[in-house]
Structure 1
């Protein structure tokens, strides 16, 4: 599946990969329907996305959008400026993303600063007459205030409706300022899942920042990640490799050398799939095609493939053996302490696959999981990257495996049918509902916390910490009430509204 870098507009995940946001069943069944590692990709997929059956509910309670992902990606490049060509409401996320940016810099021992993001503040008048003048002025303001090395422009639903010539303005200002001015087309209504926003940012970077005549650095590895702690530097140092962290917290110089690396890896294929495939296609930088580095099976395979590609096999084998032996005593203790405990994972899709693997390494039962979307295939289309099949084949099936785009009303039923002792979650908006059911949550703000061999121990320790406070959540459940009518609380199927909607049920139930 060839990535098209000739156009400034990225293909949405639905078009490219067949992404869905509503499904319910067993993990093994979803892997079969996806026909990724279990089918012939060439015959079933070709150049376009897989098609899966997808449920459609009558409403949505809320989520995030592609523009917000651009905000937390392009907005976190250190010597760049992001301009949100949007109404001011779209810039509300700047508050939380600035906090995340500052915390991420501190976590990596980098100079702490505020992110550089400007909003063009489109008003009703601009929706009638257009916002081109505001965008041009904002680009000049960004240059005068910050003298950045790159200016990104994020589009919005509003600019998509107006039809401003964002590409033309960007080209004109690029000539005037003599720096890359990069349009990132990320209108929220163009894709039903926010992960397309990751692709939009990566598309712009590969098109306009990455060096087109690279000088190869045989010990440099691109690590596509968010703002987590620096786990990869010491890990890859064992193989005499250096880390180039992108996109969050990177400098423009870090982005320029993406094409010079010996390989590209990531902590989650949802985030890294597009850029890694584009770098291999355009510049011959190999994407490491292996399971994600979670649990023993995934981390072993991931390190061995990275070592094979970078010619460091002996170093990798020695490191793998040392790490297995090092964590074995504490892992045995954790397995004993966590025996009989049931966990539940509610995160993005590929990341959830990795976390479930780690939980099962710890001996924790996992009967259910909620993933916020599902990609039937990743951009490389290499079956070694099928993280769902890797989970099922190495760690067993998940009986209640649900795809749902962070819908609060469904989460109650999803948890009720498996009754876990705790949940793992990254997007904390769902955690309060679990608390009101007496279920503690481990919010994984540091996405690298569970990665690699040490990650197994880290996650086990975190679970023990939250279980020690379970009485608080039980007290909370005993003295609070959920905001739903009894009719809804009595439902056995969290997807009943979607199924009734599909059947054309005219009788509207009273569920709020």
Structure 2
């Protein structure tokens, strides 16, 4: 179902029936998932968990030539300061002229809780436009304005006529969900509605130009071999460079987004031949909309971590472009070099006992990699679970591996460490 006409997307508890409370084995988890019995599970004691606003900022803070306005009390968004250096340096790796992270807090207090905070938001938007002249101003809505009823969409609609920057409201209020990964849907929802969808300000001047048919054919050929590679904030530039190297070896062109992209990069995202996800948890909402709206197919099945899943990821992409033979040759060459290079690491890591924690897709793929290195996987701990991990976990050789699903909950992690005693 396409939710793009709505102001806000549904949370993942409703859209994907995601689970954030489970303890048992991997085999039992997959069985319960396929039966639809994981939704609504509760723990008897809950400690701490993440907030979708902060996870939204992990993507939004990375965008080049944008100003982020956190419409909230002063504490919300404070984590942005800890990532300012990383965002600045990573942006400059893609564009030497990129600016540092620029964010504003509307500083809602007691007065705004009583009288509303829309005036603060309006002032912040106009200040951002005057001070920075960015390509986009992104408004991140928090719990307080959502509870008191601030209508940020109306403020954006009124102000868009007064500012040059594209205004992008993001509804990522923390109280709405116990699955912080709902943040990815909130961010993509705002991007889809405001950076990709055509606006009244963008008139088709292109139609007035005399066409160059040869150049048009060249452009169509280029786009027919172009993929949108959807990265994540947890990737390094080295990760992107390696994936780019592998796909360009198949003579494919790449657009890399959303993280560290420029707002203008999203304008032509619907022209690529294929959308390639690195993580289903991160991108399913985005690629499903692009398929429904523009007919763009996507690859969502695996994540390029470890030999098995990187090979599978490359082959899935190559199959779409009918490049299986070239992909097989590439894989054989890469795997041969890897086997030789990895020998000394296997000697050190063999038999080491590990507990792996993180996102559902990444954790299962990393477990496969550790098995490949000769390590013993004692347990897996993921932040939430939904159907996207079923296939990967079903293929994992040890289907009785201990599996814990918990968003935060440090006491559960401490108990697991004490019980499993990983190296």
Give the secondary-structure state (helix, strand or coil) at the position aligned to 2:69.
Answer: strand
Give the secondary-structure state (helix, strand or coil) at the position aligned to 2:101.
Answer: coil
Contact 1:291 1:387 in 2 (8 A): no
Give the secondary-structure state (helix, strand or coil) at the position aligned to 1:209.
Answer: helix
Aligned to 1:510: none
Give the secondary-structure state (helix, strand or coil) at the position aligned to 2:161.
Answer: helix
Equivalent of 2:398 in 396, 420, 427 = 396
Structure 1 stretch 146-155 or stretch 218-227: which is displaced more? 218-227
Inter-partner Cα distance in structure 2 for 1:371 and 1:83: 31
Label 1:120 to 1:412 Cα distance change in 2 as closer, same or farther (>3 A).
same
Give the secondary-structure state (helix, strand or coil) at the position aligned to 1:409.
Answer: helix
Give the secondary-structure state (helix, strand or coil) at the position aligned to 2:380.
Answer: strand
Does 1:57 pair with 2:19? no
Does 1:25 pair with 2:8? no
Does 1:274 pair with 2:267? no
Structure 1 stretch 120-129 or stretch 400-409: which is displaced more? 400-409
Contact 1:280 1:286 in 2 (8 A): yes
**Structure 2 unaligned residues grouped into runs of 5+:** 199-203, 207-218
Contact 1:350 1:388 in 2 (8 A): no
Give the secondary-structure state (helix, strand or coil) at the position aligned to 1:154.
Answer: strand
Q: Give a deviation string over 1:121-151, Cα, whole Å, max 9, x none.
A: 1111000000111111111111111112222
Q: Give a deviation string over 1:472-498, Cα, whole Å, max 9, x none.
A: xxxxxxxxxxxxxxxxxxxxxxxxxxx
**Taking structure 1 as the reference length, what is the TM-score of the superposition?**
0.73
Aligned to 1:34: 33
Aligned to 2:173: 187
Contact 1:225 1:272 in 2 (8 A): no
Q: Give a deviation string over 1:194-226, Cα, whole Å, max 9, x none.
A: 111111011111122125599862232212223
Inter-partner Cα distance in structure 1 for 2:91 and 2:155: 32
Inter-partner Cα distance in structure 1 for 2:43 and 2:173: 21
Does 1:359 pair with 2:359? no
Label 1:351 to 1:110 Cα distance change in 2 as closer, same or farther (>3 A).
farther
Contact 1:157 1:188 in 2 (8 A): yes
Aligned to 1:16: 15
Does 1:336 pair with 2:342? no
Inter-partner Cα distance in structure 2 for 1:398 and 1:157: 40
Contact 1:12 1:191 in 2 (8 A): yes
Inter-partner Cα distance in structure 1 for 2:197 and 2:15: 26
Inter-partner Cα distance in structure 1 for 2:168 and 2:141: 11
Equivalent of 2:418 in 416, 419, 434 = 416
Inter-partner Cα distance in structure 1 for 2:305 and 2:46: 35
Does 1:6 pair with 2:12? no
Structure 1 stretch 210-219 or stretch 352-361: which is displaced more? 210-219
Inter-partner Cα distance in structure 2 for 1:110 and 1:265: 26
Give the secondary-structure state (helix, strand or coil) at the position aligned to 1:374.
Answer: coil
Equivalent of 2:324 in 285, 306, 313 = 313
Displacement of 1:59 after TM fit?
Answer: 3.4
Inter-partner Cα distance in structure 1 for 2:167 and 2:88: 25
Contact 2:67 2:138 in 1 (8 A): yes
Q: Give a deviation string over 1:323-355, Cα, whole Å, max 9, x none.
A: 111111233443333221111111122111111
Does 1:295 pair with 2:301? no
Does 1:223 pair with 2:222? no
Inter-partner Cα distance in structure 2 for 1:277 and 1:129: 40
Inter-partner Cα distance in structure 2 for 1:387 and 1:410: 21
Inter-partner Cα distance in structure 2 for 1:70 and 1:237: 30
Aligned to 2:384: 373
RMSD between superposed Cα atoms in Å: 2.2
**Taking structure 2 as the reference length, what is the TM-score of the superposition?**
0.88
Inter-partner Cα distance in structure 2 for 1:33 and 1:292: 23
Aligned to 2:243: 232
Inter-partner Cα distance in structure 1 for 2:341 and 2:397: 21
Equivalent of 1:257 in 268, 277, 290 = 268
Label 1:396 to 1:59 Cα distance change in 2 as closer, same or farther (>3 A).
closer
Does 1:101 pair with 2:112? no
Displacement of 1:394 after TM fit?
Answer: 4.4
Inter-partner Cα distance in structure 2 for 1:289 and 1:54: 26
Aligned to 1:90: 76
Task: State how 1:141-220 maps to structure 2 within 5 Å.
Answer: 141-210=127-196, 212=198, 217-220=223-226
**Number of residue pairs aligned between Structure 1 and Structure 2:** 398
Contact 1:65 1:188 in 2 (8 A): yes
Q: Give a deviation string over 1:23-44, Cα, whole Å, max 9, x none.
A: 1011111111111xxx7xxxx7
Q: Give a deviation string over 1:174-211, Cα, whole Å, max 9, x none.
A: 12225431211111000112111111011111122125
Label 1:184 to 1:211 Cα distance change in 2 as closer, same or farther (>3 A).
closer
Aligned to 1:486: none
Q: Which has the higher contact order (CA 8 A, sep 6+)?
A: 2
Inter-partner Cα distance in structure 2 for 1:275 and 1:349: 18
Q: Give a deviation string over 1:347-402, Cα, whole Å, max 9, x none.
A: 12211111111111111110201111112x2xxxxxxxx43432332433252110
